[in-house]
Amino acid sequence: MTIQVGDTLPSINLTTMTSEGPKPVSLTELSAGKKVVLFAVPGAFTPTCSVQHLPGFLEKNSELKDKGVDIVACISVNDPFVMQAWGEDRKVGDDLLMLSDGNGEFTAAIGLEMDGSGFGLGTRSQRYAMVIDDGVVSILNVESGPGLDVSSAETILAQL
């Protein structure tokens, strides 16, 4: 079943890279008492993800923060080393939290998997953006097909 507005996030750890190496991250703990924008991409370094989706959230980061967002995070079914390399390549610095759902457990738990095997990607995440208020989904925009429309930074900004 797909996660819906009003649902609480599942308690599944993701991973981020730190100077000490990979570190588990609980979205439940991360979003406690905070407003988090979480956007998902099918794959790091892929065209739409690298040229439009991630850069849009990077460019609109300060505007999102001005609207009360505490954390902007990008998630992908890639390993944490790839997410770190992609973040460095895109120069995200501390503006975006790069999260790995390496085994796709979080993606499966929220029902937003995508079959990318036709492109050699295997099971990935659908492209989406959600706003999480204190662990509860308050906005959820899932793309219905390829491309970037409802999950863009501009769309989320307009909804806040």
pTM: 0.93
Where residue 45 falls (left for φ over 0; alpha for ψ -120 to 50; beta otherwise) is: left
Residues with a known catalytic role: 49
What is the mean pLDDT of the segment spanning 23-29? 94
The two three-digit tokens of residue 124, written as one number: 């990935």
Domains of the chain: 25-128 (3.40.30.10)
Quote the CA–CA distance of 108 and 25 in Å, as a whole number.
17
Quote the CA–CA distance of 4 and 137 in Å, as a whole number.
7
Quote the CA–CA distance of 20 and 147 in Å, as a whole number.
36
Residues 126-138 pLDDT 10s = 899 999 999 999 9
Parallel/antiparallel/unpaired status of strands 113-115 and 123-125: antiparallel
